[in-house]
Amino acid sequence: MKTLKIHLTIFTCFFLTLFAAMSSPHKGLDTKVDSLLRAHYGPEDPGGAIAVISGEGVLLKKCFGMMDLARNQNVDEHTLFDIASVAKQFTAFAILLLEEQGQLNLDDNVRKYIPELPMYEHEVTLRQLMHHTSGVPSTDVLRLIAGLSLDEIWTQQQEMELLRSYPNLNFPPNSEYLYSNGGYSLLATVVENVSGLNFADFMQKQVFAPLGMKSSLIVTGFPSDSSFYATGYKKSENDFQAVSSISDFSYGGGNMYASIDDMIQWAGNLLSPTTGNPAFYEQLKAPHHTLDNGDTISYTHGFFARTYKSLPVADHSGGVPGFRSLLMYFPSEQTIIILLTNQENRNFRTIVNEMAEILLEEKLVEQPVKPRVAIDIDVESVKSFEGNYRLADGMELAFQMEKDTFWLFLPGDEKFQLFAEKENHFFLKAFDAQCTFVVSNDGNVDEMIWHQGGADYPGRRVSEPVPFPLDEMHLLAGNYQPAGFDALYEIRYEDDTFTLFLPETFEKYIGFGTSEMTHVNGDMFYLDKLGAIEFSRNEKGRINGFVLQNLGRLRNVHFEKMKG
């Protein structure tokens, strides 16, 4: 019976696909994809569903592996997967629907629609929330700092209360790009307050139903029938461990479940729109949002718009415990690849990239990497770049000339030779990174920009370090709380070492519960796992708290020292 069940599932899932594929120019696609999936998934493993949609229709749809190991259930076209952050494009779509209907303006202050939000130092607009340029903190990190469990039931109401309790922005809006789940939670609440419907009902009536997405839903409570929900898995040493649980009922940035058939309907509307604001589709074809400094970011309305091997692509991935998902859209080729999977260990992006190689082999062109060529340096000019530069996370990079060679010194006294590519631009041969020294009009050099992994990290020159007063060292020890939250952080001074003891959420979710602290300059110290920490003082010059400067999606978090 087990074999018959598998065969029936495969037949159901592939019937229309095979008919389309046999009449398409992509002959042999089915066989190639079978081989690709076998290289990554075993037949009895947690699996998923994959589809290819083009202007011709559905070129391929495959369901593979198990949706539930305990119940011995196979994945089929009705299986519901948590698509995680892929849901953001649906939230953006909803906001743009309301804009097209004249019910909101993207450049309005979000407090126009959610007046109970804090009076931020700067105005935050819907457009900035949608593009992750608002400075609103990401609530996943905020919950961690607040010492809140990520395993217990979490509602949209709690999500909003958390955002209302934290009045600080990470940065002035539209000055930077920084991914924020909190920003998309706010957008979902805007949809509710503008439409008068809860978000789940709005999405069902104005998005899912018109597009024929028959089983998609926003999960706002425990489902009465979970038989269609895939169980999420994580690979342990010898087997798979079920890790997913439907307990997070906040929405906007995620918490949407969909089947492969639903996602095919969504893809069809991207390729040939019948519903939605035309601006949504046009802006997926190229990056367009510009920061105040003139830089263009790649994020646009729930997608990253970029290039892949010379072809424009709009894509977004999603990941929560037990699930991974990815939608990759090639606008110029009218082709979309979708992967939904209920195991988190596989390299899902590699699979989709390999699918793209199969489909678009003749169109994808690997751009040759231009070799970096070192030029001779003027030793006296380079000496003006010598010194220490502090990055935003508190790490200091030291640059020094030794005879005719320019060196980079990393913390721990590791050093690497730097090679000049331009007068003020250098690269390393030891690993792929570069740095640019910013020379002002008066010839001073106070800033360095570190380039690595496609990102730029500015660093400011630091003067000779000011020692921390020895007679005040003991005053750093004590208990601290993040402003507005009850979580406890303790600094202990033992064996000539300062250690920050963190709430148990850190150990549970990111694998460490303590962080050693070393002095950098003045009131600034460096935490070995958390970056820069700077102590603050009251009007009498006494230590009254500290600021954690950069926690990834959360910046400049203020902590108050508790009395006693």
150 & 293 share domain: yes
Q: What pLDDT is attached to residue 412? A: 63
247 & 316 share domain: yes
- Element spanning 311, H or E: strand 311-320
Q: Could you tell me if residue 45 is inside a domain?
A: no
Last residue of a domain, which of 422, 446, 462? 462
495 & 516 share domain: yes
Under 8 Å between Cβ of 135 and 173: yes
Q: What pLDDT is attached to residue 276? A: 83
456 & 343 share domain: no
392 & 287 share domain: no
What is the Cα–Cα distance from 99 to 380, expressed in whole angstroms? 58
What is the Cα–Cα distance from 237 to 172, expressed in whole angstroms? 45
Q: What pLDDT is attached to residue 449? A: 95
Q: What pLDDT is attached to residue 288? A: 78
Last residue of a domain, which of 399, 433, 462? 462
> What Cα–Cα distance (Å) separates residue 444 from each residue in 36, 381, 384, 406, 407?
56, 11, 8, 19, 20
Q: Could you tell me if residue 475 is inside a domain?
A: yes
386 & 304 share domain: no
Residues 237-259 as b/e (b if ≥16 CB within 10 A, e otherwise) read eeebebbbebebbbbbbbbbbbb
What is the Cα–Cα distance from 334 to 332, expressed in whole angstroms? 6
SS3 108: coil
In the chain, the largest separation of any two C-alpha atoms, in whole Å, equals: 82
Please give the single-letter amino acid code of residue 113. Answer: Y
Beta bridge partners, 242, equal 233
| Domain range for 488 | 470-561
Q: Could you tell me if residue 51 is inside a domain?
A: no
117 & 248 share domain: yes
Token readout for 150 is 């990520």
Q: pLDDT 10s per residue in the chain (564 long)?
A: 333 333 334 334 543 443 343 344 466 788 888 888 888 888 889 999 999 999 889 999 999 999 999 999 999 999 999 999 999 999 999 999 999 999 999 999 999 999 999 999 999 999 999 999 999 999 999 999 999 988 888 999 999 999 999 999 999 999 999 999 999 999 999 999 999 999 999 999 999 999 999 999 998 877 777 789 999 998 887 889 998 767 788 999 999 999 999 999 999 999 999 888 887 888 787 777 889 988 889 999 999 999 899 899 999 999 998 999 999 999 999 999 999 999 986 788 999 999 999 999 888 887 777 889 999 988 888 999 999 998 877 778 899 999 889 999 987 668 999 999 999 999 999 999 999 999 988 889 999 999 998 788 899 998 877 888 888 888 999 999 998 898 999 999 888 889 999 999 899 888 999 999 988 888 888 888 888 889 999 999 999 999 998 888 999 899 999 986
Q: What pLDDT is attached to residue 378? A: 87
CATH of the domain at 395: 2.40.128.50
408 & 315 share domain: no
Q: Could you tell me if residue 292 is inside a domain?
A: yes
135 & 281 share domain: yes
Q: What is the 3-state secondary structure (H, E, C) of 389-452?
A: EEECCCCEEEEEEECCEEEEEECCCEEEEEEEEECCEEEECCCCCEEEEEECCCCCEEEEEEEE
Q: What is the pTM of this model?
A: 0.86
> What Cα–Cα distance (Å) separates residue 120 from each residue in 63, 135, 172?
47, 10, 10
Instruction: Please give the DSSP secondary-structure letter assigned to residue 173.
Output: T
Q: What pLDDT is attached to residue 101? A: 94
- Element spanning 33, H or E: helix 29-40
> What Cα–Cα distance (Å) separates residue 460 from each residue in 170, 379, 391, 435, 489?
19, 22, 7, 13, 29
390 & 506 share domain: no
Kindly calculate the radius of gyration of the chain based on its CA atoms and give it in whole angstroms: 26
396 & 475 share domain: no
Q: How far does Cα 527 stand from its chain's mean position?
A: 23
Number of domains into which the chain is organized: 3
Q: Could you tell me if residue 76 is inside a domain?
A: no
What is the Cα–Cα distance from 460 to 532, expressed in whole angstroms? 14
Token readout for 512 is 């460490």
252 & 349 share domain: yes
CATH of the domain at 284: 3.40.710.10
Q: Could you tell me if residue 12 is inside a domain?
A: no
Tell me how long the chain is.
Answer: 564
Last residue of a domain, which of 462, 487, 506? 462
Q: Could you tell me if residue 369 is inside a domain?
A: no
Q: Could you tell me if residue 97 is inside a domain?
A: yes
Q: What pLDDT is attached to residue 520? A: 81
Q: What pLDDT is attached to residue 245? A: 63
